[in-house]
Amino acid sequence: MAGEMLSIPQLSLLGFALWTVLVPMTAIGVYRWSRILRGLQPIHAFPADASVGADWYRRTMRAHANCLENLPVLAVLVWTITVLGLDTRLLDALAITVLVARVGQSSVHIGWSETQRTVSIRFTCFFVQFLCMIAIAAVAITRLTAG
């Protein structure tokens, strides 16, 4: 409705969606178009099912795919708590944590080569998101089963 504010979980979902579209796609787009426009590679040189390009570019492609894989899950969870009218500080904190952990995971994925440490950091960020999403679902299920 006009004039209503978005909830913290809805804003976090919006931030997640913007991150998914803007950051990895910007890096992917800049890499691809700079190579195409400079005549280094033809436009068809970037197949979706092949790992081509610099190491950071391949990691960016994977980070973007990670975002796309998790965005629908968060969207369903935020939709569910919105429909149920759930608005708590716990849900706010969980949603913000999901977004922060996603940005952290993508940033590490894109910014640093794969080492034991960076993969551990990425996994930790992923696992934090996973736990937060499970907790959001648990809150929703608890509400559904309570009445």
pTM exceeding the 0.75 threshold for the entire prediction = yes
Give me the residue spans of the domains in the chain. 8-46+55-140
| Angle in degrees, 0-180, between the axes of helices 89-111 and 55-83, rounded to the nearest 10 | 170
Q: How confident is the model at residue 24 (pLDDT cuts 50, 70, 90)?
A: confident
What percent of the chain is modeled with pLDDT above 70? 97
- pLDDT tens for 62-115 read 999 999 999 999 999 999 999 999 999 999 999 999 999 999 999 999 999 999
Q: Residue 69 has which token pair?
A: 């894989």
Dihedral angle over CA of 85, 89, 95, 100, nearest 10: 160
- pLDDT of 60 above 60: yes
Dihedral angle over CA of 30, 35, 39, 45, nearest 10: -110
Record: fold of 8-46+55-140: Four Helix Bundle (Hemerythrin (Met), subunit A) (1.20.120)
CA separation for the pair 54, 48 (Å, rounded): 15
Q: Which residue has the tokens 């996994």?
A: 123
Q: Residue 2 has which token pair?
A: 């006009």
∠101-105-106 over CA atoms, to 5°?
120
